[in-house]
Structure 1
Amino acid sequence: MSVVIPAYNPDHKLLDLLDKLIRFSFHEIVVINDGSHLESQTIFDKISKEYSNCVLLEHPENKGKGRALKTAFQYYKDHHPEGVGMVTADADGQHSPEDIKRVAEALIDKPEELVLGVRDFTTENIPFRSRFGNNMTKSVLRLTSGMKVTDTQTGLRGIPREFGRELLYVEGDRYEFEMRMILACKTYKREISEVEIETIYIDENESSHFNPIVDSIKIYYVFLRFLVSSAASFLVDIGMFALFSAIFKAFLPIGFIVVPTILARIVSSLFNYFVNRNIVFKSYKYTKRTLVKYYALAVVILAGSSAGVHYLYEWIGDHEVLIKLGVDSVLFLFSFYIQKAWVFDQSPAESIREVEYE
């Protein structure tokens, strides 16, 4: 079992953590210098000279926490092909050695599951930006994927050996990678275990490089692209309807509403399909298959909207516009989830096989 500690501009707290971890029977401790400033070089020099149980990996420039973790995963894959896995921890002293050991023990008990060391965010000593960031990310995670996780931002995680190998092919080099690690559990059909850990914040978490607004936007940039794509498709639909209705009104006075509506919807749906395929979800394979899935989903969404509005209106008896707005909002989130998980599924496992057998 190895402990992995990504470090960017660390201070003495990293050395304090290493001193304490040495007392436990970890096989090794892997520290990644992620392009830290020269002021921190004395820390890394001391690690390489005085800590025989530590392996120091270095990036010549800052590449982000996600990339630092992948560097460690690659190292573990190359040097410990039969190992149980790794425990990742932060370098700022906010994970106690006892909790790191507890997560390691949980990983040994469940070697196929991602183990998260989760904090209690209901206590009063939680800094606002940490509470806000976690509440926002876990809410959006549950809304868009159906996954319920107590602490999405925890850096204390038990990574199974094979999962570490799979994570090498998951996108993201900075903090968004940690959220994608959680989402990858759904892709690779891995369970998630949680171990409650001590909640430690030093100096109101000032040493954290995580920005709850900026980094949350990066984490959910796929959903934001989906929103923009949907808005653009709506504008295309309106524009095409205006164009076709102007053309057909002159020689088709009876059906000039129905025909332009159908033609505009065909054009806008094709536009939406190609934007979602190539830009939102970046799925470049199986055009015919994804096109069939896309329109099958469109039929389900249309039927769900019609039936939902109809039956809710029958039950309530009024407010049909508000009912449609509510139903279509729920179906919009459903559409995003199904397009991501089924229509444009990237099948990372296939990507791994392609790389290995090139």
Structure 2
Amino acid sequence: MNYETCTVLLFGHNENLEQELRRSGMIVDVFADSGLCGSLKDASANSKAEFFLTLRADGGFMPADVLKVADALLADPSKVYLGERTLPEKKSLPQNVYGFLSGLEAKDITTSLYGMSREFLETISCIKAKDGAFFQNIPLVARAKNILVESVLVESSTNETPGWNILLSTGKLYQVFIKFSIAAFIAYLVDIGTFYVFQKLFSGMDDEFKILTATVLSRILCSIATYLLNRGAVFNSNAKSTGAVVRFVILAVGQLVASWLLVWGIGSLLGGGDAVNTMLKVVVDLVIFLASFTIQRDWVFKESKGLLK
């Protein structure tokens, strides 16, 4: 394959790797392993290449890894490609937490090997981050910009399982979840408050139907607030309105049924009562809230070009 349109942005010194990549026909620009944001901006401004690959010289990657990512990029430049090394098969708890917060399924979340077009490089080079978290932020920023990121399994491997430091290195990991939590808290006040009020209004009913009625009415008001806040302020979704509404309604109904059955079922075992049912609803809806975050991000407000694989 012709690699003359590819420029490798190599951070740090690795003479053998540099020479092998040049022999393949690629242009290799070497930078100090610091000031990464400025280096990418300089590369996008000064280089005439169509495609770019980034990696740290000490990242354990081989020339074949870079070529494999380049092949994927040249075959379909509409995505950003992540060079994924083979890691221990079992994911660590920090990896699972990271995946929950980011929506990124790739196991190698500390990789520095990426492939992207000039257009995407210009977008991603606007990242404001410390060098230690710069590469980790690339897929997070790409997702926020609705750029598809795809993992490419390369030949290299690493035995270093990401630790808790990956959850402390960048605030961008938490931005969407924090906004989601604030929006949910606003809607939750509506939900819990109206749930308690409706229980009092329908106090003459049996517990089963009183809880159902209060749950339905409070959930309707909560769902309207949630949809408006999450679509506009949290996920900045441009997904087709009709499809997003339908998916949101399906999710809302599922949450409603789950909340009703769990509160009523567990409340019956504990003897019922308005105060008990309200406290149970707080706990049950917290669990539903965590599940709802990933469902809304990856399904309800998903755009076809905004997925991360």
The amino acid that maps onto 1:159 is G
Aligned to 1:50: none
Using the aligned pairs only, state the percent identity. Answer: 22
Distance in 2 separating the partners of 1:109 and 1:23: 19
Structure 2: state its 5+ residue gaps.
1-5, 272-276
Contact 1:237/1:267 (8 A) holds in 2: yes
The Cα offsets for residues 229-254 of structure 1, whole Å up to 9 and x where unpaired, read as 323322222234456678xx5xx874
- Secondary structure of the 2:19 match is coil
Q: Does residue 178 in structure 1 map to residue 138 in structure 2?
A: yes
Write out aligned runs for 1:1-358 (5 A): 1-5=6-10, 14=12, 16-17=13-14, 19-26=15-22, 27-31=26-30, 36=35, 65=37, 69=40, 72=43, 79-81=48-50, 85-90=51-56, 93-95=57-59, 99-108=61-70, 110-111=72-73, 112=75, 114-118=81-85, 135=92, 138-143=95-100, 148-155=105-112, 157-159=113-115, 161=117, 165-166=119-120, 172-174=127-129, 175=134, 177-180=137-140, 188=148, 190-197=150-157, 212-241=166-195, 249=201, 254=204, 262-283=216-237, 286-287=240-241, 289-303=243-257, 331-348=288-305
The amino acid that maps onto 2:85 is V
Over 3 Å counting, the alpha-carbon distance change for 1:199 and 1:30 in structure 2 is farther
Distance in 2 separating the partners of 1:115 and 1:285: 25
Over 3 Å counting, the alpha-carbon distance change for 1:177 and 1:301 in structure 2 is same
Superposed displacement of residue 20, structure 1:
4.3
Contact 2:10/2:54 (8 A) holds in 1: yes
Distance in 1 separating the partners of 2:256 and 2:169: 35
Contact 1:2/1:29 (8 A) holds in 2: yes
- Secondary structure of the 1:283 match is coil
Superposed displacement of residue 193, structure 1:
1.6
- Secondary structure of the 2:169 match is helix
Larger relative contact order, structure 1 or 2 (CA cutoff 8 Å, min sep 6): 2
Q: TM-score, normalised by structure 1?
A: 0.55
Structure 1: state its 5+ residue gaps.
7-13, 37-63, 123-133, 201-209, 350-358
Superposed displacement of residue 72, structure 1:
4.2
Q: TM-score, normalised by structure 2?
A: 0.61
The Cα offsets for residues 28-60 of structure 1, whole Å up to 9 and x where unpaired, read as 223568995xxxxxxxxxxxxxxxxxxxxxxxx
- Secondary structure of the 1:215 match is coil
Distance in 2 separating the partners of 1:75 and 1:296: 50
Aligned residue pairs total 267
Contact 1:118/1:151 (8 A) holds in 2: yes
